[in-house]
Structure 1
């Protein structure tokens, strides 16, 4: 719902919803205008600014209505993992704690914090991890590895380090048939970095930092997604926006220290469909000509948040996103390889170029990620009955998108933990993946 003068006047005169505070009860007429706007946004559940348009009618706290549709497999995992869902599920953040103004959102985690790159400490041969596994299988040449025969909850610290390095080299690593309590999932995330606690997304009750991935729930709350519209954003994200996670994206690129390792565990999986696709930023970079690489190396771009906020100095002037500047080509701190750090959803422009030049180049770079099947892997989550499946990926050097072909006919529910990583950097002495591995690099005439 757009915030404008007409909206304010209407709510001031006509608010009759008993679930909302009346305008005069909320507003101090002598308060600054921005403070009055903030009170209105926080008190009227119909205003969706603090929900970024997704299910604006959510009420804070554990949701009893969500519990009614929670899949049995998810309920069993949560209860056995010690999660109290007696009051409802999921836990919806308190609107009073969600940033309204863009400066508030920008200030979250705006300082450097210590980060240990676990993969840099790992045995390059990964003997501890590989010896404990039944099999380790690369699914494609450039991205994706499946590990069988071990449980993530039983990993030693040495194995966690080696797994981090495997994830950072292969982009994404998969584990079927897992028994994984939510708290153990978060503990793994804590080991790999600072777990991001999102101020807007639904969480597992009592475990902040574990985001609930459950499209069925948001559809129940009013999210408009269907067979025809779920993929529109891949054609034009600015015009059509995003109705879910079906748009190619990289998470949390607007952070001062963006996402590193992310771990999604699905405990409720459709019999057919509901896959996820990843693409490698290492391989995408190596698709470029050597001259184009030289042009891009050292360039920076503006990256924006998925959620939108108000401008405190101009609250009626439209929604704003958090913006941060990072290198367009980054160097990975564990592998030392260069990778292309762009995504269609949240890369706004290249610094130093005209808007036309920037759009032309970025759209080509988006296409390099999205249209080259040989840099991608598609994963089907199916596990044996009673078990879940985990995907652990490097959110720096990959993009991903989900496939909503099951259309909610069968349940799909999971939990996600994201560990934040280093301040992005580019080392001009670093090599591309193919260069580092001694693979052929074609030269244009």
Structure 2
């Protein structure tokens, strides 16, 4: 019998590296990276070069113009914490499904304009003067303080805005909180998930291009208006493209209130155009074609697609009627804007582009349906307010002062109803008995 000889040598064990496989889904890894890496731009803002950090900005507070600083401090804003304030990175959507989910449900809305006295006796009776700046759009109220309006006057103001598109108040002493409260009275205040707001007051958005330029926004004389020719190839910069606010929302913006507390000596105007008047520029046959049609409306901000996070960005898209009926006036309005109306549902892409570009031009090229407002006050240390209805208008800033003098303000937007089209509603001119051209 043969006995096996046992080796006295120890077996050789090869050294191997421990490999840890991260089986966390790739979308969660990307979201974690974006939220935690300081060099990544969480805001995914349309102003591509703009880099904002979360929290209140101490450097920004140092840049504040003196008039703005005084208004904010008088209004109880603690600027020692910094200014403005960018939402926490954990609250800013990374993926488009997160952006959809923010307000993807119905919210009750009661348009205060429907409760107003049609003759507006309380509002007009208390004013020193009521000035219509043009025939179709824009009214200035003289001698009233927005902070002191009664509820009845607020209701009548809402109706006036619904009829005149935009209403102006110069020489206002108005705190950001009082501005927010008025917006809350008019509707559901929108708290923007990305953009800077007044420190401690989400929903009071800061309008301050000078600050954005300090943070990397490339805004200059050569590129400022390029998106008004092609908003796809040239993204809007500094609110200078014709647009309506928040059209991608399930319930888009109704009343918006912009208050400027620092105003350039020359320039820095804002323009508005009437959607009622734009609709009435169309021929009867073209109105019939558009009545009942719908379009896709997109968000200003872009997000990643969770299913394809490396495949580029996407935007929130909603479908709304091209012609919408205002619930208070009952008038039809052309509801499109160059920056955020993507395509018409039910027609070919070529037809959609041709029709939409024509409709954008209706708004932008008819000076008789526009108003251009100069923000200047008559009293030092006061601000000026504009309140407009996004359901029946488009607007744009005019950056002609090129930042040579400061411009700062705060904006509060109230979300309204889901857009709808009532086939029994009338156009403004039809309702008022004004003549319309009959094309042969």
TM-score (norm 2): 0.94
Measured against aligned partners, the alpha-carbon deviations of 1:124-158 in whole angstroms (never above 9, x if no partner) come to 00000000000001100100000000100000000
Q: In 1, Cα distance between the equivalents of 2:245 and 2:82?
A: 27
Measured against aligned partners, the alpha-carbon deviations of 1:67-106 in whole angstroms (never above 9, x if no partner) come to 1110000000000011111121001111121000001101
- Higher mean displacement: 231-240 or 413-422: 231-240
Q: In 1, Cα distance between the equivalents of 2:81 and 2:115?
A: 43
| Among candidates 139, 154, 164, match of residue 160 of structure 1 | 154
Q: In 2, Cα distance between the equivalents of 1:300 and 1:28?
A: 48
2:35–2:42 Cα contact (<8 Å) kept: no
Q: In 2, Cα distance between the equivalents of 1:96 and 1:89?
A: 19
1:5-404 to 2 correspondences below 5 Å: 29-48=22-41, 50-54=43-47, 56-383=50-377, 384-404=379-399
Q: In 1, Cα distance between the equivalents of 2:282 and 2:154?
A: 33
Measured against aligned partners, the alpha-carbon deviations of 1:314-356 in whole angstroms (never above 9, x if no partner) come to 0011100000000000000000000000000000000000000
- Higher mean displacement: 216-225 or 51-60: 51-60
Listed as ranges, the gaps of 5+ residues in structure 2 are 1-19
**How many angstroms does 1:279 deviate by?**
0.2
Rg larger in 1 or in 2?
Answer: 2
Measured against aligned partners, the alpha-carbon deviations of 1:255-295 in whole angstroms (never above 9, x if no partner) come to 00000000000000000000000000000000000000000
**How many angstroms does 1:49 deviate by?**
5.1
**How many angstroms does 1:41 deviate by?**
1.4
The answer for the alignment partner of 2:432 in structure 1 is 437
Question: Secondary structure in 1 aligned to 2:278?
Answer: helix
Measured against aligned partners, the alpha-carbon deviations of 1:199-218 in whole angstroms (never above 9, x if no partner) come to 00101011110000000001
- Number of aligned positions between the proteins: 419
Q: In 2, Cα distance between the equivalents of 1:320 and 1:296?
A: 27
The answer for the alignment partner of 2:10 in structure 1 is none
Listed as ranges, the gaps of 5+ residues in structure 1 are 1-26
Cα RMSD, aligned residues only: 1.1
TM-score (norm 1): 0.93
1:46–1:56 Cα contact (<8 Å) kept: no
**How many angstroms does 1:47 deviate by?**
2.5
| Among candidates 414, 435, 438, match of residue 409 of structure 2 | 414
Question: Secondary structure in 1 aligned to 2:385?
Answer: strand
2:42–2:92 Cα contact (<8 Å) kept: no
Q: In 2, Cα distance between the equivalents of 1:30 and 1:442?
A: 68
The answer for the alignment partner of 2:6 in structure 1 is none
**How many angstroms does 1:53 deviate by?**
4.9
2:320–2:420 Cα contact (<8 Å) kept: yes
Q: In 2, Cα distance between the equivalents of 1:57 and 1:436?
A: 49
The answer for the alignment partner of 2:4 in structure 1 is none
